[in-house]
Copies of this chain bind each other. A is one copy, B any other.
Amino acid sequence: MSVAESMREKLLDAATILFTNKGFNGTSVREIASKAGGNVSLISYYFGGKQGLLEALMIDYLEGYLDVLEAEVKEKNDSAFEKIMNMAEKSLHYMKDNHLRARFVLREMTLDSMLIREITSTYLMKEKHLYSIILKKGMQEGVFHKLPLSWTIMQFRGMVMMPFLHHQYVREVFQLHPQESHFISVYKKELRTWASKTLLRQKEELEKAFPLIAEIREYGAVKP
């Protein structure tokens, strides 16, 4: 990372912490610069001001997140079920690796403002699109139930994001720590259990049963 890139990142990191603790309106550009160890004029230079910095913070985070999803969608070998599980798993790792920014951005996305409206209709429409590709693939291949795309995507991405958005709830009520590796590995398993119940057509038990039943239907008895 060049010196310029590193200062840009330092400003974004400082802003994330200050915005999270004191709110956007409660934070001055001077405080951000001071926390990042840089001159206040650098904020104008890199971002054009505090509002530009906020936008850059959110867009950087969301572009990184969509890159992760898109790379998995393009992956050649995985089945639809493995793809959607990998999308979840890689999202969890991305949020863990950027957990301060994840919390801030996810929380900010619940606001009702012009900026959030624009960001939502660009980035979260793309997220919806990427999830749709995989869900449709799974349905076409007969592996997934025929489920309504919209509700399934809302539920699935909501569940993936939940521990990072509701960080304090998860910590206070369940004594769990979403930014720790152990949490991620347990949560991955929970998501897999949930997804296999909700998405997969559960044929295993019936398949065990059906050969016998088919024989009975055909012969009236089981062959010796």
Contact = CB atoms under 8 A, between A and B. Distances in A.
Q: Is the interface of A mostly helix, strand, loop or mixed?
A: helix
A13 B77 CA distance: 54
Contacts of A24: 23
A212 B165 CA distance: 49
Interface string A180-210: 0000000000100010011000100110011
A212 B216 contact: yes
> How many monomers of this protein are in the complex?
2
Contact of A209 (B169, B174, B206): B206
A59 interface: no
Range for the number of chain A residues in contact with chain B: 35 or more
Given A173-B120, A212-B212, A155 B159 contact: yes
Contacts of A110: 103, 106-107, 110, 165-169
Interface in A113-157: 116-117, 120-121, 124-125, 128, 148, 150-151, 154-155
Report, nearest first, the 5 A-B pairs whose CB atoms are least far apart: A25-B26, A221-B221, A209-B209, A120-B172, A23-B23
Interface of A: 20-26, 103, 106-107, 109-112, 116-117, 120-121, 124-125, 128, 148, 150-151, 154-155, 158-159, 162-163, 165-170, 172-174, 176, 190, 194, 197-198, 202, 205-206, 209-210, 212-213, 216, 220-222
